[in-house]
Structure 1
């Protein structure tokens, strides 16, 4: 929210001022900096926009003056040998506005009141008007098809479940409504759904529940129907019904039902090049009777009919299933005509690093390995007290977090490679320990605030003052601003960016940034760990120290809030203590 908002505001002022100066602004780029923030938070590189001193003075004056009305005003504009402009925010006001917004969204702080809230609403409305492509997603209802998991034995199936849960949470956070549909009703998968906190209502159907009569009727009447005969030795058409036994297959004289996808695609020019070129025919029935394609089409149509509104169907599928889902998509278009768009989020497989070709670990073995490693690490740190139901639940939460981080760390289409060394350092890989590292840092903050609350109850500290009375100019450390500017300031923009390309402008493949929150948390935890290791937050109760302590506590409360929120988006329960 704030990062994109300020970037757009700066760019808008520069372009309008360039018009006044009579010069082109076509190549102007405003970049958010990650390092050396002491010199500036945003920059305009000289490589894309060169200006003379007179133009610089004019642009600087326009930026400073207009930014006085922004929710995050500017403090300074300068230049150096590489950048035409280096732009710095007013840090105290930015701290206050952004932290206020973060805590208000979670109902945790009294925060700011009055004009600033109104100003923020105006700025947010400006952003919505400026970026209609993002707000087009609001209020849409998406049918999310849960990948087939059977008993969730394979790691690929487990990855599909974890991705689905994260995707649904991201869609909800960005204002979309969802319904979930699952083809099959295997009770064994429920164990995994409970374990990973996948507590969502799912429309379930099995093959036996699917009534394909309507599909057959529509296919016989379709203008895209092809006729192909398939006879047994006596010249009779053999049809095996999926709902009857093999021996009770009945013989009827009939034509095999096939739809001509090539004919359909040639009649809809805009669809050319979107689908696989090998999609020629779609079998509704074949030598064995009703095809899987027919059953899946019937299931999907039944799910859509159960919804009050369906704007889009999102299939989360392994790469090998993409071709079959294109058949379902085209089959529904040919049979039903005006049907919701279907898009695919394809995910890669899960493999083991340096594993023998013959060895293939399953999901349960992987989970048990991580659980035993977590338990061993806990025993080494806390001793023999690690036992009982409470510790079992804690270790289980840590294990689930570890598994999810490993499966979400990469771009969804890429292969995940797991290090399955049986040592308690998880093989020494950074990605293997990421989940435990993030959970530890979140627990540190939870413990810090418990200690502070207890100290207030014991009369050691006065109660936390209202945020509007905090002097954030006391946060003078660059580590504090780096932590804030790189992780709290752009948080809502990062969450929003995960679904911007969910509905592709061309094609059928959806891009959802399922790796972004995971990597964001790892970066945030590293930055927090570095800051926390050399900063003593809870200090002595002395007037000259308390003001800084309160400012830091509000900063860390905002950090804790975005960490917990990110973990919830991943379906992970945030830890409450070390």
Structure 2
């Protein structure tokens, strides 16, 4: 087989293991999976369960020659294997862990990047709540969730190599200030020149559209709704186009100047992107809260009706579920949520660090902690699922592994670890850190050390890649987006190996925080 090399990958390893068990023509069966629990990793890293082996081999017993083939696997992206054994649970594989440590930690920069690049493709992310947001008081928690999902998705896609264009522009200074407090980097000006003639051109197309009529008064009406200029019969258009995934209750859409301004800006952006991306078209993803999904489907169909370009046929909707507040007698808006979390972060810091929190440097720390708390609460649940927020003071802690405060606290602990080590080097207590190629990674034998590498550092590139994989070619319109060592000479080698592992953990955390627009804290 081909000599192994390059960056290790979980998918590559699973693919090679599956291929090694292949007996018939065609794609190999997927029978292997990666272990992740501390208990199972004590004896194996990958498992092909007995139940999955029975259809492939009589009684599920794998022939010895195939087991030998598995042990001798040497493929690109596959770590060296230590053993392959038939057990009552199935076929187990354990990696050569010192070699895996060495390969990964000697090239840690490669494991903080996604596996694949999108090659300069363009995508428009349309954050629909921002179109109708006129004041901070109008911003609901569900709309805030859609904004944070859009911001995070945009950064993940950029890391993947896509050209991301955000709409709409938000020129209001008050709204921009609030977004800045949340670490949301949003454009304040249009990338394209928007002129009134664009709206006039759309009106002209509507006047000749067979699905549109000039509105008249319905029986019982005394006046038309403000700003309504056309009535469009979406149900007829849907039936004629045989489009799937739309709300069956879509019927008549009242077209206003505002809707046409939205379409004009989307159209201008799509035409601009069409000339920059391969294939001459640009995909559009509408990120929408569940409350605005019906209205956004109206805008989607109206755009398809008025503009038959390829970009309108490539529209997809990423719908964010509702956000509920537990035990709240009245609705809680986004500004109130922000202020509450900021006060809680300040009070928790005062309880832990006392008067030190009065220092000016803590203003930025509290700001980052607040943004982290809100982002982790809004983004740790699948975007299509409902979120229940607990706004009580007791819900803020640095001990819960899923909380933003916990992540930032441990990020600061890592910074303190390396700072303390460097100070000890300057004082002559420790020798300088040697090159990574000279480290003895066979000294990393602790269970927790392997858990960090195997469950967090090794899979991280694929995690980044999977986060950016939007099923844009799927049917329908909806998509979903997936310590310190004592200064004794005989411990220096182990200390250096552990520090290199911690460097890897630190770099992965920093890269992950960057996708959330959260700066790593150096103290807390």
* 1:49 maps to 2:53: yes
Q: Answer yes or no: is the 8 Å Cα contact 2:439–2:497 preserved in 1.
A: yes
2-structure distance, mates of 1:196, 1:169: 15
SS in 2 for 1:48: helix
Instruction: Provide the residue aligned with 2:3 in structure 1.
Output: none
Residue 30 of structure 1: CA displacement?
0.9
Instruction: Provide the residue aligned with 2:95 in structure 1.
Output: 89
Alpha carbons of structure 1 residues 27 and 567: separation in structure 2 relative to 1, 3 Å: same
Give the count of matched residue pairs: 496
Instruction: Provide the residue aligned with 1:2 in structure 2.
Output: 9
- The match for 1:152 among 132, 136, 154 is 136
- The match for 1:141 among 122, 128, 143 is 122
Residue 32 of structure 1: CA displacement?
0.5
* 1:343 maps to 2:316: yes
Alpha carbons of structure 1 residues 433 and 33: separation in structure 2 relative to 1, 3 Å: closer
TM-score of the two chains, using structure 1 as the length reference: 0.78
Residue 540 of structure 1: CA displacement?
1.9
2-structure distance, mates of 1:574, 1:429: 15
Instruction: Provide the residue aligned with 2:494 in structure 1.
Output: 548
2-structure distance, mates of 1:429, 1:413: 27
* 1:436 maps to 2:436: no
Instruction: Provide the residue aligned with 1:321 in structure 2.
Output: 292
- The match for 2:414 among 440, 445, 456 is 445
1-structure distance, mates of 2:119, 2:245: 26
Instruction: Provide the residue aligned with 1:374 in structure 2.
Output: 345
Residue 298 of structure 1: CA displacement?
2.0
2-structure distance, mates of 1:209, 1:201: 21
SS in 2 for 1:188: helix
Alpha carbons of structure 1 residues 452 and 183: separation in structure 2 relative to 1, 3 Å: closer
Residue 87 of structure 1: CA displacement?
0.8
Residue 167 of structure 1: CA displacement?
1.0
SS in 2 for 1:463: coil
Instruction: Provide the residue aligned with 1:527 in structure 2.
Output: none
SS in 2 for 1:465: coil
Instruction: Provide the residue aligned with 2:448 in structure 1.
Output: 479
2-structure distance, mates of 1:196, 1:94: 39
1-structure distance, mates of 2:326, 2:46: 41
Query: Residues 254-293 of structure 1 correspond to what in structure 2 (within 5 A)?
Result: 257-269=230-242, 271=243, 273-284=244-255, 290-293=256-259
2-structure distance, mates of 1:446, 1:563: 11
TM-score of the two chains, using structure 2 as the length reference: 0.86
2-structure distance, mates of 1:201, 1:293: 20
SS in 1 for 2:13: helix
Alpha carbons of structure 1 residues 100 and 228: separation in structure 2 relative to 1, 3 Å: same
Instruction: Provide the residue aligned with 1:190 in structure 2.
Output: 176
Alpha carbons of structure 1 residues 322 and 437: separation in structure 2 relative to 1, 3 Å: same
Q: Answer yes or no: is the 8 Å Cα contact 1:402–1:436 preserved in 2.
A: yes
Alpha carbons of structure 1 residues 405 and 54: separation in structure 2 relative to 1, 3 Å: closer
Alpha carbons of structure 1 residues 373 and 433: separation in structure 2 relative to 1, 3 Å: farther
Identify unmatched segments of 5+ residues in structure 2: 1-7
Residue 184 of structure 1: CA displacement?
5.6
Query: Residues 212-251 of structure 1 correspond to what in structure 2 (within 5 A)?
Result: 212-222=199-209, 224-227=210-213, 230=216
Q: Answer yes or no: is the 8 Å Cα contact 1:452–1:538 preserved in 2.
A: no
Q: Deviations 1:102-130 (Å, cap 9, x if unpaired)?
A: 235679xxxxxxxxxxxxx9xx7xxx7xx
Instruction: Provide the residue aligned with 1:572 in structure 2.
Output: 518
Q: Answer yes or no: is the 8 Å Cα contact 2:53–2:61 preserved in 1.
A: no
Bigger RCO of structures 1 and 2 (CA < 8 A, at least 6 apart): 2
Alpha carbons of structure 1 residues 409 and 93: separation in structure 2 relative to 1, 3 Å: same
Identify unmatched segments of 5+ residues in structure 1: 108-120, 129-134, 243-255, 285-289, 514-531
Instruction: Provide the residue aligned with 1:287 in structure 2.
Output: none
1-structure distance, mates of 2:415, 2:359: 22
Residue 474 of structure 1: CA displacement?
1.0
Instruction: Provide the residue aligned with 1:560 in structure 2.
Output: 506
